[in-house]
Amino acid sequence: MKRLSPAARALAAAFGLGTAWLACGPALAQSLSLDLGAGASSTGRIVQIIALLTVLSLAPSILVMVTSFTRIVVVLSFLRNAMGVQQTPPNAVLISLALFLTAFVMAPTLEESYRAGIVPMMDESISEEEAFSRTLAPVRAFMLKHVREQDLRLFLDISGAPPTEAAEATSLRSLIPAFMISELRRAFEIGFLLFVPFLIIDMVVASVLMSMGMMMLPPVMISLPFKLIFFVLVDGWYLVAGSLIQSYGPG
């Protein structure tokens, strides 16, 4: 009998768990109850649940704001526009590539957050508040490492926060927007460098067409194949992905 591969066994296990969950769904629905406590504590629990639901609904936006996703997805969008292919690769492909590159860049930071905050909280050795602070510390350090001092000072001055040397004392209210505009600035710098070679190809093709008297022929239509073959010959995806990852430094 042929043995299943690990991936096949994992899929079979997931299918079995899903089937079992669907089968016991009605019973779970009948036995599920939410204890909000009694007396004055019920209001606090309701507020906690509302806050938790709010955070969960904003989780994708929060992850975009405090990770490398902003720089990566903007650079990939610039690359597509520079090549003149408006819908290729599709948005779904660009977003997926940006997400995986972001996961690769953020893996050391997220692993450190997990070990410092989530694991002790699951072992019930620290409180939820301390777990939140420990989990946030590596992410805060990542943002401080890549934020421009000028951008951070701008928001600190506007908010009236006193300057501080300690990283853990930096307000997220000022750090997050400063980090985002720093990422956008670097993304625009990389985008300019990406546009230059493709712009040169467009200018050369337009000049050749004009010298041949073919002014009615759109230069973009002629230059697109040259842009594609140029990007392939220089191994463009390798260079772009590698440069984006290395722009955050080792680890």
pTM passes above 0.95: no
What tokens does 124 get? 């019930």
The answer to whether position 128 is within a domain reads: yes
Residue at 28 is within a domain: no
Q: Is the pLDDT of residue 69 over 50?
A: yes
Let me know if residue 229 belongs to a domain: no
What does each C-alpha distance from 241 to 199, 230, 236, 238, 249 come to in angstroms?
21, 17, 8, 5, 13
For the chain, the domain total comes to: 1
Alpha-carbon gap, residue 101 to 129, rounded angstroms: 30
Q: Within a domain: residue 241?
A: no
Sign of CA dihedral 54, 59, 60, 63: positive
Q: Which amino acid would we find at residue 98?
A: A
Q: What's the pLDDT score for residue 169? A: 67
The distance from CA 188 to its chain's CA centroid, rounded to whole angstroms, is 17
Rounded-to-integer distance, Cα 5 and Cα 191, Å:
43
Q: Tell me the residue range of the domain where 132 lies.
A: 55-192
Among the ranges given (4-18, 97-111, 237-251), the one the predictor scored with the smallest mean pLDDT: 4-18
Question: 111-152 pLDDT, tens per residue?
Answer: 888 888 777 777 777 777 777 778 788 888 888 888 888 888
pLDDT of residue 165: 58
Instruction: Flag whether 39 is in a domain.
Output: no
Q: How far is CA 132 from CA 36, 46, 127, 138, in A?
A: 22, 20, 9, 11
Q: pLDDT for 70-91, tens place per residue?
A: 999 999 999 998 888 877 888 8
pLDDT for position 88: 80
Instruction: Establish if 112 belongs to a structural domain.
Output: yes
Statement: residue 94 has pLDDT above 50: yes
- List Cα–Cα distances, 171 to 136, 178, 239, in angstroms: 12, 11, 36
What would the pLDDT profile of 19-58 be if each residue is shown by its tens digit?
444 444 444 344 444 444 444 456 767 877 887 777 777 7
**Does some domain include residue 16?**
no
Work out the burial of residue 17: count CB atoms within 10 Å of its CB; fewer than 13 is exposed, 13-18 middle, 19 or more buried.
exposed
Residue 8 within a domain: no
Tokens of 8: 């096949």
pLDDT, tens digit (0-9, with 9 covering 90-100), for 221-242: 788 888 888 889 989 899 999 9
